[in-house]
């Protein structure tokens, strides 16, 4: 372990602690010390990051600097850095949650049950298992399920299982408070009750699951029933965790992001007290190591946070939105256009973290045509679909590696058809909901 990596991990822990104290005690005076720690962390880890991620982040930062300079709003750059200080705590909490879930005995039970599913139930089982596991451990679901594919499967069967996991895992973004996509969307469109986002997300995920199962015809009900029985051990903890986050967020008025890093650490600590000492030591060891993997994600989330705050601060962005609205698109058309923009940019290689942040920063509070709840839904839906088809998406790359299928085979073909079909269905649903929410009286 290099001194730089060790120092970077220590800075993450310090940032986590400061943000926790700031959130719980309401000490806004800690905002700028947290921003300073975050800046030091980024300077330390910058040389060790992937060149592609580094150049993308620096390009976005360059755009933000130019816009801030031209608009005479340099303070917006620092405001963006301070805005991003909540994300180290969130991402570090997710590392803790993933390593704790990895040693949970119920996860191992589910792995065995899913591995024993017959071929007709296997695809449904992998999709539902990926959905439930990803709701807690996000991208870690691929590491759990990938080794369960039966030996000797041909490429077409491996591709089907990879797509099942890809869809199942990414659809959890629609409702789970443990995804970065949910954290970013709710942070950029504040004031939307967490329970509303979760309920709407669950409804959209159910639509997508039904669409994915439709080709199975009458066998779908049997396959789903069998898969649900296999997954029964992890349903209670996943549901309990989601309900707890939603309940605490609703009662205290905190964002899902802040609620996660306040609630999860004591829950994990309490659970580890009831486990063997070896499990607790493994979680501490793997969690400490996992902090070294946050660099690429942290750099990108900070740069897009800065860009989004700059765009929100400069006066001409509102004029830009008004010019777009002047085309007279009905709300459902605007919803479709925003979603198509996010997914299209993902197909072109831009991570949804950037496109979602920019779109929501431009649209939030600028038009009454789209209800805030629907705007959050556009963010998480664009994130889910964009990471399902983006050639540089971590989900696509993990599914490719876990099931030995070329990334291109997961992006093109039937997956694009599914994404287009579900996007159309979801736009219709959001259009109807938006009409109801924005109708006076």
Distance of CA 217 to the CA centre of its chain: 31
Please report the DSSP string for 46-98 in residue order: GGGS-HHHHHHHHHHHHHHHHHHHHHT-THHHHHHHHHTTHHHHHHHHHHHHH
List Cα–Cα distances, 33 to 8, 20, 392, in angstroms: 16, 13, 34
Q: What is the full DSSP assignment across 107-127? A: HHHHHHHHHT--HHHHHHHHH
Q: Are 288 and 5 in contact (CB under 8 A)?
A: no
pLDDT tens per residue, the chain (441 residues)?
577 778 888 888 898 888 888 877 777 788 888 889 988 988 888 877 777 777 878 888 888 899 889 888 888 899 888 888 888 888 888 888 888 877 888 877 877 777 777 776 788 888 888 888 888 777 777 777 777 777 677 888 889 888 988 999 999 999 998 888 888 899 888 889 889 999 999 999 999 998 988 877 666 677 777 777 777 887 788 788 888 888 888 887 777 778 888 888 888 888 888 888 888 899 889 888 888 888 887 888 888 888 888 887 787 766 776 776 667 778 899 999 999 999 998 888 777 888 888 888 888 766 678 999 999 999 999 999 999 998 877 788 888 878 888 888 888 888 899 999 999 999 999 999 999 998 876
Torsion of CA 410, 412, 417, 421, to 10 degrees: 70
- Three-state secondary structure call for residue 175: coil
Number of H helices, E strands in the chain: 23, 0
Q: Can you tell me the distance from the alpha carbon of 107 to that of 62, in angstroms, rounded to the nearest whole number?
A: 44
The domain locations on the chain are 3-438
Taking the CA atoms of residue 273, residue 274, residue 279 and residue 281 in that order, the dihedral angle to the nearest 10 degrees is: 10
Residues 95-134 as b/e (b if ≥16 CB within 10 A, e otherwise) read bbbbbbbbbbebbeebbebbeebeeebbbbbbbbbbbbbb
The rounded distance, in Å, linking the Cα atoms of 205 and 197 is 12
């Amino acid at each position: 372990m290099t001194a730089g990596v060790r120092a970077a991990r220590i800075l993450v822990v310090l940032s986590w602690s400061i943000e926790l104290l700031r959130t719980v005690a309401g000490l806004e005076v800690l905002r700028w010390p947290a921003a300073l720690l975050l800046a030091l962390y980024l300077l330390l880890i910058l040389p060790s990051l992937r060149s592609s991620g580094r150049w993308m982040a620096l390009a976005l930062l360059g755009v933000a600097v130019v816009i801030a300079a031209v608009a005479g709003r340099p303070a917006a750059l620092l405001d963006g850095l301070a805005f991003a200080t909540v994300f180290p705590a969130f991402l570090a909490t997710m590392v803790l949650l993933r390593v704790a879930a990895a040693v949970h005995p119920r996860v191992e039970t589910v792995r065995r049950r899913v591995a024993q599913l017959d071929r007709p139930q296997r695809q449904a089982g992998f999709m539902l298992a990926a959905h439930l596991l990803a709701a807690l451990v996000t991208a870690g679901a691929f590491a759990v399920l990938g080794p369960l594919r039966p030996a000797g499967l041909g490429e077409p069967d491996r591709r089907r299982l990879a797509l099942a996991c890809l869809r199942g895992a990414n659809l959890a973004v629609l409702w789970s408070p443990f995804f970065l996509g949910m954290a970013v969307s709710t942070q950029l469109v504040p004031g939307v009750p967490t329970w509303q986002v979760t309920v709407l997300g669950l409804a959209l995920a159910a639509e997508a699951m039904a669409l994915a199962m439709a080709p199975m015809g009458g066998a779908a009900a049997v396959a789903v029933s069998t898969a649900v029985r296999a997954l029964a051990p992890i349903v209670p903890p996943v549901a309990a965790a989601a309900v707890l986050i939603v309940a605490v967020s609703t009662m205290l008025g905190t964002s899902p992001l802040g609620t996660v890093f306040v609630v999860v650490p004591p829950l994990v600590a309490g659970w580890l007290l009831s486990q063997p000492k070896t499990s607790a030591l493994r979680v501490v060891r793997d969690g400490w190591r996992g902090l070294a993997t946050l660099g690429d994600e942290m750099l990108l989330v900070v740069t897009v946070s800065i860009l989004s705050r700059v765009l929100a601060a400069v006066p001409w962005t509102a004029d830009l939105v008004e010019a777009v609205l002047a085309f007279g698109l009905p709300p459902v058309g605007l919803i479709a256009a925003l979603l198509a923009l996010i997914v299209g940019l993902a197909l072109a290689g831009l991570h949804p973290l950037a496109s979602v942040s920019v779109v929501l920063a431009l649209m939030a509070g600028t038009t009454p045509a789209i209800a805030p709840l629907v705007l959050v839904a556009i963010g998480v839906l664009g994130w889910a679909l964009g990471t399902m088809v983006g050639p540089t998406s971590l989900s696509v790359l993990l599914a490719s590696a876990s099931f030995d299928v070329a990334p291109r085979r997961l992006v093109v073909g039937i997956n694009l058809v599914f994404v287009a079909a579900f996007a159309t269905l979801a736009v219709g649903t959001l259009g109807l909901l938006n009409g109801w929410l924005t109708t006076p009286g």
